[in-house]
Amino acid sequence: MKREGLLQILLHESDRKGLFGRLIFEDVVRYLWRSGAPGVTVYRSEEGLDKQGHIQNMHSEYMSEQLPIKVEVFANQEELQDIMEHLHKEIQDARGQAFMVPEAWNVKQEDWRGENPEMQNDSLLKVFMKEEDEYNGTPLYHAFVRELQKLDIQWVNVIRALEGFGQDHVIRKTKMFQFANHSPVVLEAVLSASKVHQTLETLKPFIQAASGPAILLSGNLVASPAGKG
C-alpha cells in the first residue's frame, strides 16, 4: 500500500477574516477545493471550548458559533506539505492548530497484502462516503455497521460531517431541516492486529462501494474488553 498522510486543521466556527469577513474554515475548504485536494471532510463539534476557554455547545438557548471545527484532508505527503506551506500563516493568524498523522494507508488500492507491516498493528479504519452511497439497496454505512457486527468488531462509529467533497469535487453540506441525504459520512472502526487482514478482506466489496477513500491508521489498542478485539 502507498503511504499517505492525514492532516487535521483545527479552527473555530466563528473565525473570520476581519470583523465581517469570510469564515476561515470555509476559506480553507475553498482553497483545498481549488488546489485539487483529493478529498476534504469538515466536522463541527457538539460541545467544546471556545478561544477564551469557555464551554460552548450547540444545544444552548442561542446556538453557539464558537464551536471547534476540524478540517480533515487525506493526501500524499507532497500534497500535504504544499497545503501546509500555503495555509500555515492563515491557521496561525486564526490561533488555530494543525495536526499531522504521517502514516495513513489507502486500503482501496489493490496492492495491499496481509504480510504488509501496517497489517501487523492495531488500527483505526476510516471510510469516507456520501450519505447516498448504497450497497445492495441498503445505505452503505448501515451495511458496513451490520457487517462489522457480524465480524464481532467491538467499536464502530458513524459520523455525519458538516461538509466535504471527494474525488468528484462536489461540495456537499449538512443543512438544518434538510431531508435529502447529501451529507458526507465517515465510518470509523477499531481493529485489533489479529483482525485487520480478515476484516479488510471481508469488507473489500463495501470499501469499493464507498465514494471516498478508506484509510488505515496504525496504533496500539491499550484497553479492550477481555477476550475481545
Q: Give tens-digit pLDDT for 66-110.
A: 889 999 999 998 999 999 999 999 999 999 999 999 888 888 875
- Please give the torsion angle defined by the CA atoms of residues 25, 65, 183 and 157, in that order, rounded to the nearest 10 degrees: 100
How many beta carbons lie within 10 A of that of residue 195, not counting itself? 19
Q: Mean pLDDT for the chain? A: 86
pLDDT digits (tens, 9 = 90+) for 194-224: 899 899 999 999 999 999 899 999 888 777 6
Domain 107-219 part of CATH 3.50.50.60: no
3.30.70.120, 3.30.70.270, 3.30.70.141, 3.40.1030.10: CATH of 3-104: 3.30.70.120
β-strand partners of 55 = 49
First to last CA, the chain: 24
CA distances from 19 to 12, 68, 128, 195 (A): 15, 19, 34, 51
Q: Distance (Å, rounded) from C-alpha 227 to C-alpha 143?
A: 25
Answer yes or no: are the C-beta atoms of 97 and 206 closer than 8 Å: no
Single-letter amino acid code for the residue at 138:
T
- Per-residue model confidence (pLDDT) at position 169: 85
For the chain, the structural domain boundaries read 3-104, 107-219
SS3 category, 149: helix
Q: Give the pLDDT score at 4.
A: 87
Residue 156's identity, in one-letter code, is V
Nine-digit cell string for 135 = 450497497
From the CB of residue 155, how many other CB atoms can be counted at a distance below 10 Å? 14
**Residues whose CB is less than 8 angstroms from the CB of residue 90 and which lie 6 or more positions away in sequence, other chains included:** 24, 27, 28
Q: Decide if pLDDT at 145 tops 90.
A: yes
Residue type, 114: G
CA atoms within 13 A on the CB side of 200: 30
Is the pLDDT assigned to residue 175 strictly greater than 60?
yes
Q: Which of 11-20, 113-122, 211-220 has the highest mean pLDDT?
A: 211-220
Same fold, 3-104 and 107-219: yes
| pLDDT bracket for residue 147 (50, 70, 90) | very high
Q: What pLDDT is stored for residue 49 in this prediction?
A: 86
* Residues 6 or more apart in contact with residue 145 via CB below 8 angstroms: 156, 158, 187
- Report the pLDDT averaged over residues 19-35: 90
